[in-house]
């Protein structure tokens, strides 16, 4: 039986041991053990509190003026500490205690340690209560009269510290090579440690559901670590890509890319998102709601193809790509008959290139790359089918040759360097020609998506919350989704990027069905309609010229009975006429 003599109790008090003489193994000096504090903290409290009280009592009698000033200062510090302690108490009662109580049941009573940063999301603002007029007046008086006085020495100290850091920067930069990289600052987070060696998938899902329900901190990123004797989990705030990416970022990345690589934008930390039509997939599927920026993404890929001397075939009736009007190497097809012929020709070129590749070396280059942009594929397939049903003869096949050609491009376009960029609000298998054809799209881009669209196109990837930020896309490659802010180019910037490389009219593949070459300066309205310079028929264009005499281009000559117009004048007139409807393009 332990004897409690005065000497032994005094020794225990001074050394920081438990006063009842319990074992040192249970209550060690450096760690907490079974007690609330380690031994050294108990020792500091036992010796420091009496010493502080005695010093304060002596100073109060010997130095009255200084004691009064120190008392006021200590009172202010104590009041602020009590306020912070009260806020932490409310925080624990609102979030930590209910969460720990809910976790105790599924974890079978295992010891759980939970840390939640108060700065996470809107946790602290949720606890705020409306202020009365008196409280508002007191806070205003405090902010105007007291806070500046208290902040002044702190601000001066920080400015002096910053000045010292700038003075020492040359030396600290040289010493940086000896500094070991530390853990990345994750910012505000939720840390959970469970004293159990393993949790099943069902238990982890239940724990995650409890934490997200009891601590409403918004969208979080979850990570688990089950290595060792305990299981730990962390929830951090999801980092976002930059809010805007434009021409400067594209021009900086373009010289570093190979011919088959394309810059799409920036992800978290301004890391460039690069797409490879050689390694990732030869074709791109774009699925997004109206107004999400589908045509902006297609424009970005198209200008990079044109800048490298390639060709672009645009199938679309909306006029979303007016930036491409009049550019060399662009086949802008806005009528069903133009789309029909363009797809058949592209399939024929792909077949010829694949036939030639059989007798060439493995690294043989079949020619300039061709990008086929299928705008609003849900409607385009129907238009092609209807056009063929109205024009085919009795001996012609029932299936539209253009739809068949599109399917052939999807299956043999990789080796022929002919790539398809399919755009649709809902890229169903029926819209693209069947589920086997849709499987050729290894790169899938989604924005403003629904749960049904995500499950249909990329069920193998976890679905993040859809962003309402314009230009924010999820680029899914190989089941991995990367959040990307797509680079936005104005019409002038797009033409400037695409214009440096002009294609020759003597290209071995021949001219496209509606190419507008830079060497053709003047054309008739019929030629302009056939080549895609104007998005209307000849009759509709003539009526618009009659109604819009103030802004209509002036004829610069005649060819027979037809008036001749400069291509640049027609492009400027079309751009000005369609400008009020620019918001309709997605």
Q: What is the pLDDT of residues 206-219, one digit of tens each?
A: 999 999 899 988 77
Percent of the chain beyond pLDDT 70? Answer: 90
SS (H, E, C) 226-244: CCCCCEEEEEEECCCCCCC
Rounded CA-CA distance 204/264 in Å is 36
The confidence score (pLDDT) of residue 516 equals: 36
Instruction: List the single range of 66-80, 193-207, 336-350, 570-584 with lowest mean pLDDT.
Output: 570-584
Q: How confident is the model at residue 513 (pLDDT cuts 50, 70, 90)?
A: very low
Instruction: List the single range of 186-200, 307-321, 564-578 with lowest mean pLDDT.
Output: 564-578
Mean pLDDT over 284-296 rounds to: 86
Q: How confident is the model at residue 487 (pLDDT cuts 50, 70, 90)?
A: very high
Mean pLDDT over 332-360 rounds to: 87
DSSP string of 163-206, one letter each residue: HHHHHHHHHHHHHGGGPPP------SEEEEEESSS---HHHHHH
Residue 194 has pLDDT above 90, yes or no: yes
Contact between 223 and 233 (Cβ < 8 Å): yes
Q: Which tokens belong to 552? A: 């209509």
Contact between 258 and 424 (Cβ < 8 Å): no
Percent of the chain beyond pLDDT 90? Answer: 18
Half-sphere exposure at residue 109, Cβ-oriented, CA atoms within 13 angstroms:
0
How many residues appear in the chain? 586
Token pair 């009659």 is at which residue?
A: 546
The confidence score (pLDDT) of residue 2 equals: 59
The order of strands in the sheet holding 231-237 is 112-116, 189-194, 231-237, 220-225
CATH domain 241-358+368-458+476-500 topology: Rossmann fold (3.40.50)
The confidence score (pLDDT) of residue 582 equals: 38
Rounded CA-CA distance 46/450 in Å is 63
Mean pLDDT over 362-386 rounds to: 85
Q: Where in the chain is the domain with CATH 1.10.1660?
A: 518-586
The confidence score (pLDDT) of residue 567 equals: 77
Query: Can you list the pairs that 221-228 forms with residues at least 24 positions away whose Cβ atoms lie under 8 Å?
Result: 226/197, 226/198, 226/199, 228/197
Token pair 């300039």 is at which residue?
A: 368
Q: How confident is the model at residue 137 (pLDDT cuts 50, 70, 90)?
A: very high
Mean pLDDT over 287-304 rounds to: 88
Q: Which tokens belong to 516? A: 């507008």
Q: How confident is the model at residue 505 (pLDDT cuts 50, 70, 90)?
A: very low
Contact between 577 and 544 (Cβ < 8 Å): yes
Question: Could you give phi then psi for residue 428, rounded to 5 degrees?
Answer: -80, 165
Name the burial class of residue 496, with classes exposed (0-12), middle (13-18) and buried (19+) by CB atoms within 10 angstroms of its CB. Answer: middle
pLDDT digits (tens, 9 = 90+) for 406-459: 888 888 777 788 899 988 877 776 666 666 777 778 889 999 888 888 888 888
Instruction: List the single range of 93-107, 130-144, 315-329, 330-344 with lowest mean pLDDT.
Output: 315-329
Rounded CA-CA distance 203/193 in Å is 14
Question: Could you give phi then psi for residue 13, rounded to 5 degrees?
Answer: -65, -45
Q: What does pTM read for this prediction? A: 0.61
Q: Which tokens belong to 245? A: 């990416």
Three-state DSSP class for residue 461: coil
Residue 504 has pLDDT above 70, yes or no: no
Q: Which tokens belong to 140? A: 């205003």
Rounded CA-CA distance 95/440 in Å is 49
Contact between 113 and 193 (Cβ < 8 Å): yes
Q: Pick the residue with more confidence: 66 or 224?
A: 224
Average pLDDT of the chain to the nearest whole number: 82
Rounded CA-CA distance 501/305 in Å is 10
Q: How confident is the model at residue 576 (pLDDT cuts 50, 70, 90)?
A: low
Three-state DSSP class for residue 327: coil
Question: Could you give phi then psi for residue 50, rounded to 5 degrees?
Answer: -65, -40
pLDDT digits (tens, 9 = 90+) for 255-281: 899 888 999 999 988 889 999 888 888
Rounded CA-CA distance 563/546 in Å is 14
Rounded CA-CA distance 301/290 in Å is 19
Pick the most confident of 224-238, 527-541, 557-571.
224-238
Q: How confident is the model at residue 81 (pLDDT cuts 50, 70, 90)?
A: confident
Q: How confident is the model at residue 558 (pLDDT cuts 50, 70, 90)?
A: confident
Q: Pick the residue with more confidence: 569 or 428?
A: 569
The confidence score (pLDDT) of residue 460 equals: 85
The sign of the torsion formed by the CA atoms of 552, 553, 558, 564 equals negative
Q: Pick the residue with more confidence: 436 or 485?
A: 485
Residue 402 has pLDDT above 80, yes or no: yes
The confidence score (pLDDT) of residue 321 equals: 86
Instruction: List the single range of 10-19, 431-440, 458-467, 512-521 with lowest mean pLDDT.
Output: 512-521
Residue 485 has pLDDT above 60, yes or no: yes
Residue 503 has pLDDT above 50, yes or no: no
Rounded CA-CA distance 295/315 in Å is 12
Rounded CA-CA distance 574/540 in Å is 13
Residue 1 has pLDDT above 60, yes or no: no
Contact between 422 and 283 (Cβ < 8 Å): yes
Q: Where in the chain is the domain with CATH 3.40.50.300?
A: 241-358+368-458+476-500
The confidence score (pLDDT) of residue 578 equals: 52
- The count of other CB atoms within 10 Å of the CB of residue 167 is 9
Name the burial class of residue 75, with classes exposed (0-12), middle (13-18) and buried (19+) by CB atoms within 10 angstroms of its CB. Answer: exposed
Rounded CA-CA distance 311/344 in Å is 16
Can you say whether residue 510 is alpha, beta or left, with left for phi > 0 and alpha for psi between -120 and 50 degrees? left
Q: How confident is the model at residue 108 (pLDDT cuts 50, 70, 90)?
A: confident
CATH number of 518-586: 1.10.1660
């Amino acid at each position: 039986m332990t004897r409690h003599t005065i000497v032994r109790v005094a020794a225990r008090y001074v050394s920081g041991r438990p006063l009842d003489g319990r074992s040192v193994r249970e209550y060690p000096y450096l760690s907490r053990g079974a007690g609330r504090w380690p031994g050294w903290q108990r020792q500091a409290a036992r010796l420091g509190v009496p010493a502080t009280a005695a010093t304060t009592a002596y100073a109060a009698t010997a130095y009255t003026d200084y004691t009064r000033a120190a008392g006021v200062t200590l009172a202010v510090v104590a009041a602020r500490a009590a306020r912070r302690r009260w806020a932490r108490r409310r925080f624990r009662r609102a979030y930590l205690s209910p969460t720990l109580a809910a976790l105790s049941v599924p974890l079978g009573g295992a010891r759980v340690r939970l840390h939640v940063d108060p700065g996470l999301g809107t946790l602290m603002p949720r606890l705020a209560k409306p202020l009365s007029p008196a409280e508002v007046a007191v806070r205003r008086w405090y902010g105007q009269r007291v806070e500046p006085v208290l902040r002044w020495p702190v601000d001066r100290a920080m400015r002096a510290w910053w000045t010292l850091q700038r003075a020492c920067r040359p030396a600290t930069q040289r010493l940086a090579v000896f500094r070991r990289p530390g853990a990345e600052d994750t910012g505000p987070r939720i840390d959970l440690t469970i004293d159990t060696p393993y949790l099943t998938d069902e238990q982890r899902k239940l724990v995650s559901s409890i934490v997200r329900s009891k601590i409403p901190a918004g969208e979080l990123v979850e990570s688990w670590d089950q290595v060792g004797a305990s299981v730990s989990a962390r929830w951090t705030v999801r980092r976002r890509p930059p809010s805007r990416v434009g021409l400067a970022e594209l021009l900086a990345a373009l010289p570093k890319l190979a011919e088959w690589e394309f810059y799409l934008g920036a992800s978290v930390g301004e890391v460039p998102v690069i797409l490879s039509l050689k390694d990732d997939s030869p074709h791109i599927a774009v699925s997004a709601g109206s107004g999400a920026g589908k045509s902006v993404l297609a424009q970005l890929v198209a200008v990079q193809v044109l800048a490298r001397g390639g060709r672009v075939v645009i199938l679309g009736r909306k006029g979303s790509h007016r930036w491409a009007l009049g550019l060399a190497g662009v086949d802008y097809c806005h009528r069903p008959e133009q789309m029909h012929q363009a797809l058949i020709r592209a399939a024929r070129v792909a077949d010829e290139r694949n036939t030639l590749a059989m007798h060439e070396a493995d690294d043989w280059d079949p020619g300039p790359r061709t990008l086929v942009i299928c705008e609003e594929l849900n409607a385009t397939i129907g238009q092609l089918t209807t056009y063929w049903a109205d024009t085919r003869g009795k001996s012609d096949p029932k299936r539209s040759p253009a739809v068949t050609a599109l399917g052939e491009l999807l299956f043999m376009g990789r080796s022929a360097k002919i790539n398809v960029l399919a755009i649709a609000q809902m890229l169903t298998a029926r819209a693209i020609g069947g589920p086997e054809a849709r499987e050729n799209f290894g790169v899938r881009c989604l924005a403003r998506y629904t749960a049904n669209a995500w499950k249909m196109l990329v069920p193998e990837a976890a679905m993040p919350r859809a962003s309402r930020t314009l230009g924010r896309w999820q680029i899914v490659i190989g089941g991995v989704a990367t959040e990307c802010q797509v680079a936005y180019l104005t019409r002038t910037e797009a033409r400037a990027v695409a214009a440096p490389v002009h294609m020759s009219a003597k290209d071995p593949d021949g001219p496209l069905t509606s190419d507008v070459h830079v060497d053709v300066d003047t054309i008739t309205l019929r030629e302009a309609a056939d080549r895609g310079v104007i998005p209307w028929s000849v009759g509709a264009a003539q009526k618009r010229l009659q109604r819009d005499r103030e802004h209509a281009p002036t004829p610069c000559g005649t060819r027979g009975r037809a008036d001749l117009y400069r291509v640049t004048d027609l492009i400027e007139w079309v751009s000005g006429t369609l400008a009020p409807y620019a918001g309709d393009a997605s």
